[in-house]
Structure formats: C-alpha cells, structure tokens
Amino acid sequence: MLVKVFVLGRPGSGKTTAIHHLADIAHQRKYSALCVDDYSILHHMSHEEMYHTCFRSTDHEGFDVLDLSVYDTALELLEQQVHHAEATEHDGIVTIEFARNDYWHALQRFSPEFLTDAYFLFVEADLSTCVQRIHQRIHDARRANNHFVSDYIMHSYYKRDNWSRVQTRLIRDYNIHKEVITFRNTSTLANLLSTVETFADRLFATEFLAQDALVPQETLTYPASIRTTGVLPQLALC
C-alpha cells in the first residue's frame, strides 16, 4: 500500500526540503518513498513542440508558464503517474508536490477518490521569503531540484494563494479523514524538520500500525503554532 501525501506551498516555501526529509524517514523505516511533482511534467512539456506557445524560457534554464491550462494538464498526468506507482510499488509513501495560486481549482483536477484517503501538508511562507530562497538555491550546487522560478511569475501568479479558505472546504467536500496540516516555515530549518518528523511518526503509526512498533507519545504532539484539521484518532500507546 502506498500512502498519498500532498505537500503544497509556494516555490521557495521549503516543501521540497520537507519531502526529502519525509522520504529519508520512510527509508530508515524500510518503506518505499516515491516523490512526484508537476514541475518535472511541466519541464518536459516546455520542450515539446505542441506546447511551444505555452511557455517561454527564463534565466537559469527555467521557464514561465504563459498558458495556464497546462497547469491542469500537468496535474492530470501527475495523477496517472501515482496510479501507476500504486500498482507497482511496495508499502510506503508517495509525495505529491505542486504549487498553485488557486488550490481549490487545482484539487478539482483530481478524481474525488484520489483525495479522500490522502494526507496534506501545506508549507507556508511569505512571498518575499520565497523569492529570496529561490535566488539563494539556484547558486547552491549541492542541492538537487534547484528549480528557478522567475520574479515575474512569483509576483504575478504566486502573489496570493487561497489555501487558508480551501483547507476547511477540502475536508468537508471530499470527506478527508486524514491529517491536513499547515506549517509556517519562517523559522529555523530544525523547526521544519521536527514538524516533518512528528508528521511522519503519526502517519506511519496509523497506516502501518501492525508492522511498526508504536512511537512514544511525546513525539506525537505538534507545537501549538501548527494548524491542524482532520486530526487522526487517538493512538493506543504502550
């Protein structure tokens, strides 16, 4: 069984860092960890002749999306990738990463059953912080996935997002019964990693309870600054 984990947030918010840490934790526990994202799909589309008018090249081998309909196409292809993985992968997680300014529109590109049994982790950061991080990461050769997003796209398309309004509606309309968490990533890296570890402890203890030893109760509590909804049922702890 693959457990779906949506990891959402602006480019530069820190969601890729969160995903890498979550994958490391899965591997340490001997589970598989597959990471899928719409950037890879969009990057491939940007080099296809049929989509040549939908993109324009930017600095640092990046691209701007000119035709917003390709965002929807990328998410539909992303769901197909995940379904294929579910049919072939062993027990573990599959993280689904993307950024949008309208998350309600984006999530409606997926089939309802694709969302109902998923976890959601939204990594929040203000626009100026995200832009600064994007410029810092493109010069860091040690980091993978240093995708460049232009200032134009950040200040136009990503200027605002509607996650705060979408979060409650998502749970209600799609009957989400797993955790939906919003974490504001404007503090230290250690704080982000600690939140991911708590999230992972709760996920693995709940989804693979029969296979994993239960984690200590003190690791199952989020800091008060973390906004959660759709909280998991109380675990039986030994």
Question: pLDDT of 120-150, one tens digit each?
Answer: 999 999 999 999 999 888 776 455 566 889 9
Split at pLDDT 50, 70, 90, the class of 60 is: confident
The two three-digit tokens of residue 106, written as one number: 């984006």
Q: What is the pLDDT of residue 41?
A: 95
Q: What is the pLDDT of residue 133?
A: 92
Q: Where are the domains of the chain?
A: 2-229
Contact 137, 144 (CB under 8 A): no
Q: What is the pLDDT of residue 138?
A: 75
Model-level pTM? 0.86
Residues in a beta bridge with 182: 122, 227
Confidence check: pLDDT of 236 > 60: no
Strands (E), the chain: 2-8, 32-37, 55-57, 63-65, 92-98, 119-124, 180-184, 227-229
Burial 126-159 (b: 16+ CB within 10 A, else e): ebebbbebbeebbeeeeeeebbbbbeebbeebbe
Cα atoms found within 13 Å of the Cα of residue 150, Cβ hemisphere only: 15
Question: Span 2-229: which CATH code?
Answer: 3.40.50.300
Question: pLDDT of 68-120, one tens digit each?
Answer: 999 999 999 999 999 999 888 778 999 999 999 999 999 999 999 999 999 99
